[in-house]
Structure 1
Amino acid sequence: MLTVDDVDAAARQHGAVLGMELVMDLGWVAFLADDAGHQLGLMTADASAPVNPDVSVFVDDVDAAHRAAVQAGAEIVHPLSDEEWGVRRFFYRDSSGRVVNVGTHR
């Protein structure tokens, strides 16, 4: 996930440079993708979480990843949530202070 000042401008620029198409745009967050499955997320400010993540990682079993994060003593920054745009996710803060968004598509 890349934090940007203007989602529309960033989507146009990164889409042109990377050859990606806009596949989702909620105004505050947008995703570009190509036919090979590569994606780039762009966001101004996360509308449903207290902070913007530094990176997003999508996994097969987000519930198992959440349990592992809790067992490892990681600080959960955003609880395990089903978001309206079809993603189940949570955020944790790593030992360097970075916020990691872990999710899966529902």
Structure 2
Amino acid sequence: MVKRIVANIKTNDLSKANHFYQDILELDILMDHSWIKTLGNDEDAKVQISFAEQGGNDTEVPYLSIEVDNVDEIYNKMKDAGFEIIYNLTNEEWGVRRFFVKDPFGHTVNILAHL
């Protein structure tokens, strides 16, 4: 039985994750060995992998999807910090409120909350 799935994002500068993933998304440092840093929290989550032909409403398939409980606040923090919003905050017909943003590594991240 699968217990956990971890996303591994290649970078030559671990510090690029700090503002986006630690400051704004409020993830904690769970491990730091100077060559790898793992961020997370103590929330219980289901193991999931999504496979998609498109990201919904004909958007690109995001690299990561991150569910939050304060999507409007996160949206405003991302905009204020100057991160590129590539799909504005939207209530989707399938029951989520979401936006897409480019992370510091150039990946499209879907930030969402269930309605």
Normalised TM-score (structure 1): 0.62
CA displacement 1:40-96 (0-9 Å, x = unmatched)? 322111231532100000001100010010011010011100011101000000121
Q: Specify the alignment match of 1:60 in structure 2.
A: 69
Q: Is the 8 A contact 1:56 1:103 kept in 2?
A: yes
Task: Give the length in aligned residue pairs.
Answer: 74
Match of 1:46 among 23, 38, 55: 55
- RMSD, aligned α-carbons: 2.0
TM-score of the aligned structures, taking structure 2 as reference length: 0.57
Structure whose residues are more often strand by fraction: 1
Identity of aligned residues (%): 37
Partner of 2:94: 85
Structure 1, unaligned stretches of length 5 or more? 1-16, 19-35
CA distance in 2, matches of 1:44, 1:73: 29
1:4-47 CA-to-partner distances (Å, cap 9, x unmatched) read: xxxxxxxxxxxxx85xxxxxxxxxxxxxxxxx733332211123
